[in-house]
Amino acid sequence: MSCFRLENVSYRYDKSPVLHGIDLRLEAGEILGLFGHNGAGKTTSIKLILGLMQPTEGSVAVLGGQAGDPQVTQHIGYLPENVMFYPQLTGREILSHFARLKGASLKQVPVLLEQVGLGDAMDARTKTYSKGMRQRLGLAQALLGKPRLLMLDEPTVGLDPVATADLYRLLRDLRDEGTGIVLCSHVLPGVEPYIDRAAILTEGTLKAAGDLAALRRQANMPVTLSLAPAHTLADLEKVIDEASASNGLMIRTENGSLRVDVQPREKMALLQAVMASGEVADVGIHQPSLEDIYVHFIGSGGLAHRGGSQ
């Protein structure tokens, strides 16, 4: 079953349109990265899925029901972008409070606090928590009641690299148990191996959505080959020139190899030519990363917004 399905969704705040005809879905057991610059419309999309607002146009179906229906909402976990907690209460007291509000078992409270790495700090007041510890408490809150749909807005803010890797592993386990997960952010460092699909929003428009292979095909960005010469760089350059597939983008690197940018459809022909020539000793192939693809789709319009509106 779909965790959510947005069909032709548009939204405007008063007179300002912020989402334009968005089609986006999430299936159970899938992790979707929702990426976009500041003000792209990520949080607005999440609020529509939570049923906090109604779309101006289009439809939002969530977990087989209506967005905002309490029967649906109780199966959603949400980590907002900026988590704030009452400072005089302990982590355990705060999570117990949220468990009661959500109708989740209080037995889950210490288990979740252990799971997010707050086992030793659960009885300390949250005013003594670091930013990363508050973020972990926010995550524990989102996990209450074993949600079928989990939406995390900027989940790695304040987390160190080890905690970030722990978070991604935890999300992967939840995904494998069937939870649908949305990670909402500017591109998250290191997230690429952990997401099944990415959706790229810019100025309220969905520019691209799909798994990384599909996004690479859609972006049609050059693949970079690192070629180490078997004899001399000049001999290897000659072979590449004759294969004429490099678009002229050939750079000598400091370690004595060549970096060649080639269109994906020309990659195999160039590789075959250099292999057949006997002039290459080693080959490395570098596909565009998620960050590269993101920058490609966001373009200069998106860059102008980075760090801008909020």
Ligand X SMILES: Nc1ncnc2c1ncn2[C@@H]1O[C@H](COP(=O)(O)OP(=O)(O)OP(=O)(O)O)[C@@H](O)[C@H]1O
User: Cα–Cα distances in Å, from 216 out to 189, 198, 239, 252, 287?
Assistant: 18, 11, 27, 26, 8
Interface with ligand X by CB under 6 A: which range of 2-10, 13-21, 238-246, 275-283? 13-21
The whole-angstrom separation of Cα 211 and Cα 195 is 8
In terms of CB distance, is 231 or 306 closer to ligand X? 306
The whole-angstrom separation of Cα 49 and Cα 275 is 52
User: Residues 44, 156, 164, 179: which binds ligand X (CB under 6 A)?
Assistant: 44
User: Residues 40, 116, 142, 174: which binds ligand X (CB under 6 A)?
Assistant: 40
Residue 18 touches ligand X, criterion: CB under 6 A: yes
Residue 43 touches ligand X, criterion: CB under 6 A: yes
Size of the site for ligand X (CB under 6 A): 14
Residue 206 touches ligand X, criterion: CB under 6 A: no
CB of 309 to ligand X, least distance (A): 5
In terms of CB distance, is 179 or 202 closer to ligand X? 202
State how beta strands 180-185 and 149-153 pair. parallel
In terms of CB distance, is 183 or 221 closer to ligand X? 183
In terms of CB distance, is 171 or 201 closer to ligand X? 201
Torsion over CA: 210, 212, 214, 219 (sign): positive
Interface with ligand X by CB under 6 A: which range of 38-46, 108-116, 205-213, 275-283? 38-46
The residues, ordered by sequence, that sit 6+ positions from 15 with a Cβ below 8 Å of its Cβ are none
The whole-angstrom separation of Cα 68 and Cα 122 is 31
In terms of CB distance, is 17 or 178 closer to ligand X? 17
User: Cα–Cα distances in Å, from 124 out to 46, 92, 119, 136?
Assistant: 32, 8, 10, 14
Q: Cβ(186)–Cβ(35) under 8 Å?
A: yes
Q: Of the candidates 24, 9, 33, which has an alpha carbon nearest to the alpha carbon of residue 184?
A: 33
Encoding tokens for residue 173?
């386990």
Residue 309 touches ligand X, criterion: CB under 6 A: yes
Q: Cβ(93)–Cβ(156) under 8 Å?
A: no
CB of 259 to ligand X, least distance (A): 33
Residue 207 touches ligand X, criterion: CB under 6 A: no
Interface with ligand X by CB under 6 A: which range of 39-47, 132-140, 189-197, 270-278? 39-47
Residue 16 touches ligand X, criterion: CB under 6 A: yes
Residue 15 touches ligand X, criterion: CB under 6 A: no
CB of 45 to ligand X, least distance (A): 7
Helices 131-143 and 91-102, interaxial angle, to 10°? 30
User: Residues 81, 93, 261, 266: which binds ligand X (CB under 6 A)?
Assistant: 81
Residue 202 touches ligand X, criterion: CB under 6 A: no
The whole-angstrom separation of Cα 22 and Cα 205 is 7
Residue 36 touches ligand X, criterion: CB under 6 A: yes
Sites of contact with ligand X (CB under 6 A): 13, 16, 18, 36, 38-44, 81, 309-310
